[in-house]
């Protein structure tokens, strides 16, 4: 999610969408589509699929704009949440298919290792994330990578296990403890 | 396990994305009826949202927006704000009637010469913008020609320019008193006159409704108005 743009009123655009104003939805699209597609693309990993996600997410935004509640969060945040969960639904449905195929899992695993593994910190964290940045910094590297692989890349537990070459049970425990520490740190 | 711990685990892993398909569906269903879970999920969305900045932007293809736009129409129809809401709103028509009558009177004077010459009754409609009642088009129909033969042509004449967004078209509609739904009279070019033959339609009536709506480029895909009404008016009988 890019830094907030002072001139664009996301809440007003959503209210206009709720009244059936298609120009308002187009305005949101012009403002955010390249960032939203970036988020979806990291999670579903195929361009055509990511565009399908964005298509379905914008229809969802259009239909549900009337139910947007500004007391629960910002309009901009709500749009990202809709797109991310649409992408996650697609990714999780596919994980299931891929998971049944042992050979594919093996092939993915070798591919990752050939790329040089993931022992180094997977992401250069940006400093403008405020408190989240500090709290992620307090986690050990393995837990931090679990959370980033899941949130940004849409990895399932077993995909993270492949990436970090660690047992599934260990990954599940790292994710759980990492999240609990984050909550304690951020409040 | 402590209830709150389990709630936090579900909420956090739902937001993180590590729940499996079946569990995700369950959480989404529970969100609608469990405020505590909703509050926990909202808090996790807020905590982790800054991480979306880590995904590099990707420019969508040029076809994506037209695809989205084309998909909006059926949804727009299902919403209460569709054409039926306008068409059935009595208050709207009451407000409009005053403005339309004033415009009609003014224009009838301007057009008087033209309308009187062929002799015989005809209909005049002034189409005005719903917001400010500014007249934008007039419709002339049903007057007899010089030979006394009934003329079934209808003319739509612009009074000024109309701006049309890209990938959009103007579509012209009419609806008689007892008709179930409006009938399309075709697409309209902004600022250009249009002649339409009415032989396939019942004869013109006083108070027959006319409107121009904003539709997708190829016209409404449903055969009913789906976009906003740009101009609207009722037929008035003129001598």
Angle between helix A157-164 and helix A141-153 axes, rounded to 10 deg = 130
Please write the tens of the pLDDT for every residue from B126-143: 888 877 777 888 888 875
Separation of alpha carbons B30 and A140, rounded Å: 33
The predicted complex's ipTM stands at 0.85
pLDDT of residue A90: 92
Residue B58 in contact with partner chain A when CB distance is under 8 A = yes
Q: Are residues A88 and A57 in the same domain?
A: yes
Q: For chain B, what percent of residues have pLDDT higher than 70?
A: 73
Q: Are residues A143 and A76 in the same domain?
A: no
Nearest to B156 by CA among B112, B187, B119, B110: B187
For residues B73 and A180, the model is more confident at A180
For residues B70 and B121, the model is more confident at B70
Q: Give B38→chain A minimum CA distance, Å.
A: 10
Residue A3, in any domain of the structure: no
Query: Residue A51 maps to which CATH number?
Result: 1.10.1740.10
Closest Cα in chain B to A186: B47
Q: Give B68→chain A minimum CA distance, Å.
A: 6
pLDDT of residue A116: 41
State yes or no: pLDDT of B77 exceeds 50: no
Q: Which of B58, B70, B74, B83 to mutate: most A Cβ within 10 Å?
A: B58
CATH of domain B81-238: 2.60.40
Q: Tokens at residue B40, please? A: 């926990």
Q: Give A39→chain B minimum CA distance, Å.
A: 5
Total number of domains constituting chain A: 2
Per domain, the residue ranges of chain B are: 3-58, 81-238
Q: Are residues A20 and A72 in the same domain?
A: yes
Q: What is the mean pLDDT of residues B92-101?
A: 60
Nearest to B9 by CA among A73, A138, A170, A183: A183
Asked if B71's CB is within 8 angstroms of A55's CB, the reply is yes
Asked if A89's CB is within 8 angstroms of B24's CB, the reply is yes
- A129, A152, A157 member nearest B55 (Cβ): A152
Q: Are residues A156 and A172 in the same domain?
A: yes
Separation of alpha carbons A152 and A84, rounded Å: 9
Q: Tokens at residue A29, please? A: 């699209």
Q: Which of B10, B55, B66, B80 to mutate: most A Cβ within 10 Å?
A: B55
For residue B174, the number of C-alpha atoms closer than 13 Å in the C-beta half-sphere is: 24
Angle between helix B64-78 and helix A47-64 axes, rounded to 10 deg = 30
Q: Which chain B residues have a beta carbon less than 8 Å from that of A126?
A: 53-54
Q: Which of B52, B67, B79, B167 to mutate: most A Cβ within 10 Å?
A: B52
Asked if B48's CB is within 8 angstroms of A151's CB, the reply is yes
- Please say whether the beta carbons of B216 and B70 come within 8 A: yes
Separation of alpha carbons B144 and B222, rounded Å: 34
Question: Which H/E stretch holds residue B16?
Answer: helix B3-16
- Please say whether the beta carbons of B233 and B100 come within 8 A: yes
Q: Give the list of residues 6+ apart from residue B44 with CB closer than 8 angstroms, or none.
A: B11, B12, B14, B15, B16
B171 backbone dihedrals φ, ψ, rounded to 5°: -125, 140
Please write the tens of the pLDDT for every residue from A158-177: 999 999 999 999 999 999 99
Residue A2, in any domain of the structure: no
Which one of A95, A120, A146 terminates a domain? A95
pLDDT confidence bin for B79, thresholds 50/70/90: very low
Handedness of CA B72, B78, B79, B83 (dihedral sign): positive
Question: Which regions of chain A are under pLDDT 70?
Answer: 1-6, 95-128
pLDDT of residue A58: 96
- B64, B67, B72 member nearest A62 (Cβ): B72
pTM above 0.80, yes or no: no
Q: Are residues A120 and A167 in the same domain?
A: yes
Separation of alpha carbons A105 and A34, rounded Å: 31
Q: Give B65→chain A minimum CA distance, Å.
A: 8
Residue A5, in any domain of the structure: no
- A1, A41, A62 member nearest B52 (Cβ): A1
Residue A56, in any domain of the structure: yes
pLDDT of residue B74: 53
State yes or no: pLDDT of B146 exceeds 60: no
State yes or no: pLDDT of B106 exceeds 60: no
For residue A164, the number of C-alpha atoms closer than 13 Å in the C-beta half-sphere is: 27
pLDDT of residue B140: 86
Q: Which chain B residues have a beta carbon less than 8 Å from that of A23?
A: 165
- B17, B45, B47 member nearest A88 (Cβ): B17
Residue A168, in any domain of the structure: yes
Please write the tens of the pLDDT for every residue from B156-198: 988 877 878 777 889 999 988 888 888 889 899 888 888 888 8
Closest Cα in chain B to A132: B47
Length of chain B: 239
């Amino acid at each position: 999610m890019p830094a907030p743009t002072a001139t664009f009123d996301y809440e007003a655009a959503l209210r206009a969408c709720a009244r059936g104003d298609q120009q308002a939805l187009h305005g949101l699209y012009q403002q955010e589509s390249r960032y939203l597609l970036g988020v979806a693309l990291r999670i579903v990993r195929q361009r055509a699929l990511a565009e399908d996600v964005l298509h379905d997410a914008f229809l969802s935004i259009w239909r549900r704009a009337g139910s947007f509640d500004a007391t629960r969060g910002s309009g901009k945040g709500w749009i990202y949440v809709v797109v991310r969960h649409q992408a996650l639904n697609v990714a999780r449905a596919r994980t299931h298919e891929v998971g049944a195929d042992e050979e594919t899992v093996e092939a993915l695993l070798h591919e990752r290792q050939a790329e040089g593994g993931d022992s180094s910190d997977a992401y250069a964290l940006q400093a403008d994330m405020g408190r989240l940045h500090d709290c992620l910094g307090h986690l050990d590297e393995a837990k931090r990578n679990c959370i980033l692989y899941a949130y940004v890349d849409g990895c399932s537990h077993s995909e993270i296990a492949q990436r970090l070459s660690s047992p599934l049970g260990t990954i599940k425990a790292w994710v759980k403890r990492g999240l609990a520490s984050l909550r304690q740190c951020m409040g | 396990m402590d209830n709150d711990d389990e709630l936090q685990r579900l909420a956090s892993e739902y937001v993180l994305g590590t729940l499996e398909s079946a569990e995700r569906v369950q959480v989404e269903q529970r969100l609608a009826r469990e405020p505590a879970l909703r509050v926990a999920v909202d808090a996790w969305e807020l905590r982790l949202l800054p991480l979306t900045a880590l995904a590099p932007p990707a420019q969508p293809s040029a076809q994506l927006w037209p695809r989205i736009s084309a998909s909006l129409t059926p949804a727009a129809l299902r919403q209460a704000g569709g054409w039926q809401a306008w068409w059935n709103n009595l208050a709207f028509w009451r407000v409009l009637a005053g403005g339309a009558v004033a415009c009609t009177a003014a224009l009838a004077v301007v057009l008087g010469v033209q309308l009187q010459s062929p002799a015989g009754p005809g209909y005049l409609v002034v189409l005005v913008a719903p917001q400010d009642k500014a007249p934008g088009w007039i419709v002339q129909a049903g007057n007899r020609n010089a030979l006394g033969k009934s003329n079934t042509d209808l003319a739509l004449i612009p009074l000024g320019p109309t701006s049309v967004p890209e990938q959009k078209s103007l579509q012209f509609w009419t609806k008689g008193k007892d008709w179930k739904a409006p009938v399309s009279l075709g697409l309209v070019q902004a600022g250009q006159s249009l002649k339409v033959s009415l032989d396939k339609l019942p004869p013109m009536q006083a108070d027959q409704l006319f409107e121009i709506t904003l539709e997708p480029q190829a016209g409404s895909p449903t055969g009913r108005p789906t976009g906003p009404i740009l101009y609207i008016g009722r037929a008035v009988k003129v001598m």
